[in-house]
Structure 1
Amino acid sequence: MAFSSLYEEKSPFTRDYNAIKATLQNIDDYDKTCLETALHGVNQMVLGEWGNNTACQVVLVTDGSVGIGPMSLKESLTNLIHRSPNNPFPVPFSFPAKLHVVCLAHPNDMCLQRSKPLYQKLIDLSGYDGSISVPEQLNEVGVTSLFHKLAEDIYTSFKGTLKCGNLKSRIMLYPAPVHYTKVTDFDCQTYMVSETIDILGFISVNDIGSPMAVSRHLVLHGVQNIKDPMSMETEIDLTIDEDTNDESKTPSFCVLLHGALKVENMAALVSLGDNWFGFIYSWADTKKKSNLMLTLLVPGSDSVPWLGDLNYLGCTEQFEQCSSFPIRPSEKRSYSQNGVVWIRSAGLQSDIQKILRHARKLPEKTQQFYKELNRLRKAAISLGFLELLLALATIFEQECLSLPGNVHPDCAVQLHHAAEVLKKTQNQDAKFVITPYVANYNNL
């Protein structure tokens, strides 16, 4: 992305390094330096491609200048507290990101010395550890050495071992997973991905669905003595003839797993550490190319609610009776019940009419009558709509007077009882439950 008073997306996210190199040859000079515009563009570009849950590395390449005038970085940081919600400052980013500033200027440049504190404040605003890099010598060798060091520091791959029983394979993860800190009401734990990732079992991709993920990573077969990991082919081309590829002659559990998961449409449940799980699966961005991906779940054995406790998963043969997914929770969720919606008067009238319909069919509908009555009463108290209780009591009293002579006597008794309870102020507690009145003739 190139930036000035406006920003321009020169190349989308791609693994075609040659295309990126070709684009860099056609970078032009523009009118002025406006870093805020560039950061707004980064926000929109990453959110549009990856969403707000994927960690990214943002590298800002400048000449050491922060701009001049009202669009300068100094002016933006000075007026930070006066920003309106309609025009927020783009940092911190809307996604987890580390900001690295590369200043292509002489180390002793006076403009750079004045700009460094502003760049550092920008990094601090991002909320993550970043860096400011300056070449030791302002020439091709110094700049090349600077970017090589930056790539080694922030783009180093994760190297580990993938195990499944007696089978194992060296793997690399791109991008490298970072530690995850889980904060609860009374605890704060930091989780690190173990160097040995164990496969616990296999499950259908359809049963997994789309659980909340911490991050996603590309899984590559680990090769010894790799000098330039970034130059590796990061995709598996299914059209390549095995006879023309030397690596295809070397047995690899990673390749075997990839092919099996792709054909069977399955995913592997893996253990990343103590009480931390993830899924390995095949993902294809085109018809001919696919990748082996690793999704890191939120730490904990209940990170996928519809699968239940991940520690209790097992083979179907181990159970006499095995229910299918999703697993219903044992406790009843509050949001699983029908909510009370009174945005319009028709909703309230419908709830009252439903109670009256049950009232006219007493005593057969006694249970339903009090269930709906307590539901409406609890909602009214929660909303502070206490007048509704008195109005409902009046409706019940009028209903008693207008009942036909052929109805069951319990109908009038229960309506009168409900009206009396609704009138009592000591019963205006959301936890209080109105119970049916037991008349003597009910015991005959």
Structure 2
Amino acid sequence: MVWVVILDEQLNLLRPHDTISDRSCFVLCKTLAKRVVSGLCSTATDSCVTIVQPNWSDDSPKLTTFSNNVPTLYLAIDQLEEPSPLVQQKLNDLVLWTLTEVFRYWGPSATIQILLFTDGGASPFLHPAADDSVTSQLPRLPKVDQSNASLTVITLSNDQVSPDILRTYRQFLPRSSILSWKKYQSTNGGAPLTEDDLGPFSDYCVRTCLVSHGFDRNCEVSLRCGHLNSSVQLAPVLRIADNESSEPPTSLRLEIFGFLHTSDLSNPPVVSRHHVSNVSDDNRTPFLQLLMSALQETKTVAMCSIYAGETNSSAAGTCTKSTHADGRNDAANLLRHGFVHQVDPKVSILMLSVFPKDCIGLPWLGQFQHLAPVEDFAGVQLYDDREGSSPFPVLVPDRLSYGTLSDSNVGQNRAASAGGEPFRYVSWVSPTSLLSEVNKVLRLGRRLPEKSAIFFKELARLRSAALAYGCPELLVHVAHLTESAHATENPVGQAQSDAVRVHLDTMNRMLSEAAAQLDD
């Protein structure tokens, strides 16, 4: 769960509060936000909080670091600027920008709750009815994936909020709610708001927010690697189901099936990231520390599969031999693939990054089921176990730095390669491979037309790699550098110049077709 705190920036928050006249509504909103943030961090320890700093004067909003450290969050709230009469506030734009940035960082499957603090008590002349024609004329938030986002408005008076907050509130329905002091007051004696009441009111807001997101329902997570296992917790909580209509599982199992060098994994697509930690200080096991040390020493990541439910092994955590390569290891309960890695080499924090739902392989690695121990591929040509290669082999048909991706069908099974051309895929074995291949193509391009045959062969391989990486701009730069090399050379004979021009036109046509194929 990611909690996002936003303070209303309207000018009426600068007025003194009705019952606490020595404090402005803006200052009281800050105080209430601090108490709510403190309650969330102490209760939902596996979640994190960020504070939105609008910076309306510079038109450059910022998010503070995602954290559950209360003093750090207090300092960020204290640094929020007061509303300015010279700057127009755009709440809709701010909320949209906030969702975009949080989803970009945590992935589209992250669960986000926006907490908007305001004074409430809007004038009835500025409070449009539900069927007000003005509401339909105002722009709505652009369509984004808000299925995992919700909005909670916390007010210091009643449910009547300003028109712009009301519009934003309606756009999040039915995942929006208003928590007002008046509603809390009606169930607690009806006394006017005092500064001492901010504590109980903040506790009420914290309880409501936690219950609405099912924090009373825990999801057990077991991390396993061979015969080693440990109960862990994920922050934010990993909430995925095996199909669209089913409920999220009550228990998950992360099964590590191998390790890859960080350079081999490159930059894969990730939909969500989760902090991996022990369940509690009383239940600390040496397994996570052992895993962290192994990843630090070898500069690797742990490839894993995510399953629903527990294994049929004993309670001691003993696991049978992995059958991951054959795809028979609880295939019916398989939810996702992902990898466990370090957040930063200098920080001892483990992170789980989850691949998209239908991701069963990566173009430059191949299928995940092909990443397996040596004995599963006896007799098959494998990469040499040299420095810089993966600590367990990647199944490939030859020793090229990469191969062609057959029909871009990463998901096909190994049996399909028995008849006809073998299954091949791009597989970079070191981070310098791409740069060396680009330099090779540029060297050959300067020696056209006599090196035209090998030039186009290497260019076709580089084009396959660029398609796999999804970077057509690389091909554009290669074409530009090749043409500029011939433009700066001394004039040659007319016949040779025409031949070079023909080869350059052929090169441009090949690369433009590759870029168009990627766009499709």
- Which bracket does the TM-score occupy, shorter chain normalised? 0.5 to 0.7
Closer, same or farther: CA 29–116 of 1 in aligned 2, 3 Å? closer
Counterpart of 2:270 in structure 1 is: 213
1:276 equivalenced with 2:336 (yes/no)? yes
Deviation at 1:267, TM superposition (A): 1.0
Closer, same or farther: CA 153–265 of 1 in aligned 2, 3 Å? farther
Closer, same or farther: CA 199–17 of 1 in aligned 2, 3 Å? same
Matched residue of 2:294: which SS? Answer: helix
Is the 2:221–2:232 contact (alpha carbons within 8 Å) kept by the matching residues of 1? yes
Cα distance in 1 between the residues matched to 2:88 and 2:133: 11
The 5-angstrom pairing of residues 239-254 of structure 1 reads 251-254=285-288
Matched residue of 1:299: which SS? Answer: coil
Counterpart of 1:238 in structure 2 is: none
Is the 1:275–1:300 contact (alpha carbons within 8 Å) kept by the matching residues of 2? no
1:4 equivalenced with 2:9 (yes/no)? yes
1:122-170 deviation per Cα after TM superposition (whole angstroms, max 9, x unaligned): 3453488343334553433133222233145449475411111221111
Is the 1:35–1:66 contact (alpha carbons within 8 Å) kept by the matching residues of 2? no
Closer, same or farther: CA 262–331 of 1 in aligned 2, 3 Å? same
1:247-281 deviation per Cα after TM superposition (whole angstroms, max 9, x unaligned): 79x54212211221122111111111325201001
Is the 2:261–2:299 contact (alpha carbons within 8 Å) kept by the matching residues of 1? yes
1:256 equivalenced with 2:290 (yes/no)? yes
Is the 2:225–2:255 contact (alpha carbons within 8 Å) kept by the matching residues of 1? yes
For normalisation by structure 1, the TM-score amounts to: 0.55
Closer, same or farther: CA 175–306 of 1 in aligned 2, 3 Å? same
Cα distance in 1 between the residues matched to 2:266 and 2:232: 25
Is the 2:117–2:155 contact (alpha carbons within 8 Å) kept by the matching residues of 1? yes
The 5-angstrom pairing of residues 53-132 of structure 1 reads 54=107, 55=110, 56-64=112-120, 78=134, 83=139, 89-90=140-141, 92=143, 98-106=149-157, 109=158, 112=159, 114-115=160-161, 122-123=168-169, 125-126=171-172, 129-132=175-178
1:137 equivalenced with 2:189 (yes/no)? no
Deviation at 1:192, TM superposition (A): 4.8
Closer, same or farther: CA 332–247 of 1 in aligned 2, 3 Å? same
Which structure has more RCO (C-alpha within 8 Å, separation ≥ 6)? 2
Deviation at 1:314, TM superposition (A): 1.1
Counterpart of 2:14 in structure 1 is: none
Unaligned runs of 5+ in 1: 84-88, 183-187, 224-245, 340-345, 347-355, 362-368, 384-444
Q: Which structure has the greater CA radius of gyration? A: 1
Is the 2:113–2:150 contact (alpha carbons within 8 Å) kept by the matching residues of 1? yes
Matched residue of 1:293: which SS? Answer: strand
Deviation at 1:308, TM superposition (A): 1.0
Cα distance in 2 between the residues matched to 1:205 and 1:5: 48
1:16 partner letter:
N
The 5-angstrom pairing of residues 13-32 of structure 1 reads 13=65, 14-24=67-77, 30=83
Deviation at 1:94, TM superposition (A): 7.9
Cα distance in 2 between the residues matched to 1:198 and 1:77: 55
1:215-242 deviation per Cα after TM superposition (whole angstroms, max 9, x unaligned): 011111112xxxxxxxxxxxxxxxxxxx
Counterpart of 1:198 in structure 2 is: 255
Closer, same or farther: CA 75–127 of 1 in aligned 2, 3 Å? closer
For normalisation by structure 2, the TM-score amounts to: 0.48
Is the 1:171–1:222 contact (alpha carbons within 8 Å) kept by the matching residues of 2? yes
Closer, same or farther: CA 145–82 of 1 in aligned 2, 3 Å? closer
1:148 partner letter:
R
2:9 partner letter:
S
The 5-angstrom pairing of residues 260-409 of structure 1 reads 260-273=294-307, 274=334, 276-284=336-344, 287=346, 289-316=347-374, 318-319=377-378, 320-323=380-383, 328-331=403-406, 336=464
Matched residue of 2:239: which SS? Answer: coil
Matching residue within 229, 233, 249 for 1:168: 229
1:300-336 deviation per Cα after TM superposition (whole angstroms, max 9, x unaligned): 3534222111123212453441147676344256974
Is the 1:174–1:218 contact (alpha carbons within 8 Å) kept by the matching residues of 2? yes
Matched residue of 1:102: which SS? Answer: strand
Cα distance in 2 between the residues matched to 1:77 and 1:262: 61
Deviation at 1:98, TM superposition (A): 1.3
Matched residue of 1:283: which SS? Answer: strand
Closer, same or farther: CA 179–308 of 1 in aligned 2, 3 Å? same
Counterpart of 1:392 in structure 2 is: none
2:300 partner letter:
M
1:279-314 deviation per Cα after TM superposition (whole angstroms, max 9, x unaligned): 0011217x3x23100001012353422211112321
Unaligned runs of 5+ in 2: 1-5, 12-53, 56-60, 186-196, 308-333, 384-388, 395-400, 409-459, 467-474, 477-482, 484-493
Deviation at 1:91, TM superposition (A): 5.4
